[in-house]
Amino acid sequence: MYRFLLSRQWVILTLVGLALIPVMIKLGFWQYHRHEHRVARNDQIAQSLGADPVPVTRLAAPGRPVPHDDVWRRITASGTYDTKGEVVVRLRTDADGNQGYFVLTPLVTDSGPALLVNRGWIPADGDLTKLPRIPPAPKGKVSVVGRLRADETTGSGIKDTEGLPDRQVMLISSEQRAKAQHRPFLGGYAELVGPVPEGQPKPVPAPDHSEIGPHMAYAVQWWLFSGFVPVGWFILVRRERRDRAAEAAKAADRPSAGTAAVA
């Protein structure tokens, strides 16, 4: 009754089904691990943002990348803004999706090394070949609070200023600013939280760490799909067996009907 399973069509169908099951299971675990990563990231951000501010020199040092567990930690720093070393980062948007720039200004700290500070967002003025109007940084000694971030990187090792107008960059990188200005910079950079006087760039908002994404739902879907494969295969086999049995019964009835007609 099940000899049809040895046919070429059914062998191929069975092999495809057997191959799909582990692939779907693996895809489910991949989405599950992405869910776990998102949850862990949100927890880390929440803990960092909720921790008391600490002096930046406790978490950052010249030439040392910011440790993963210290990203988003609130830091304090005191010093003087160096507006001569100020640059803008192209192709950045505000919370409403408007195109503009981030303003990066070195803060020469009391301890010596400079801290790269993202003072916030300013709108594009239409002419991307020229330096936009930048609200001047506060003069004199200032004390700031910020969120510590790791340097951005393209992963290619190329300079992010090639072909760009003067004092415009594509990445926020303390390492590249240290090379360009020939001075020591603390690793990473700070997103300014405060104080922000009136007329200054719009501060970068804190990250949304409440969204966990659809990855868990996708994982469950893939696992359900992997279960549907054998169930669907079994239904198709039963249907094929039933159809073949019906055809065999019809074929058996045809000779009987012919014999009765002759009689």
CA–CA separation, 105 vs 77, rounded Å? Answer: 13
Q: Are residues 77 and 188 in the same domain?
A: yes
Q: Are residues 60 and 183 in the same domain?
A: yes
pLDDT for 161 = 60
Q: How many structural domains does the chain have?
A: 2
pLDDT for 27 = 94
Would you say the C-alpha torsion 197, 200, 202, 205 has a positive or negative sign?
negative
- Domain membership flag for residue 237: yes
Tens-of-pLDDT digits for all 263 residues of the chain? 677 778 888 899 899 999 999 999 999 999 999 998 888 888 888 888 888 999 999 999 998 999 988 999 999 999 999 999 999 999 899 888 899 999 999 999 988 899 999 999 999 877 777 888 999 999 999 999 999 999 998 754 445 666 788 889 999 999 999 999 999 999 999 999 988 888 899 999 888 777 778 889 999 999 999 999 999 998 888 888 888 777 878 877 776 555 555 55
Host domain of residue 12? 3-41+214-258
Q: Are residues 189 and 83 in the same domain?
A: yes
Q: Are residues 104 and 26 in the same domain?
A: no
pLDDT for 158 = 46
pLDDT for 237 = 87
Q: Are residues 123 and 250 in the same domain?
A: no
- Domain membership flag for residue 205: no
CA–CA separation, 227 vs 198, rounded Å? Answer: 60
pTM for the structure as a whole: 0.72
Would you say the C-alpha torsion 24, 25, 31, 34 has a positive or negative sign?
negative
- Domain membership flag for residue 168: yes
- Domain membership flag for residue 165: yes
Q: Are residues 95 and 63 in the same domain?
A: yes
pLDDT for 156 = 45
Q: Are residues 96 and 17 in the same domain?
A: no
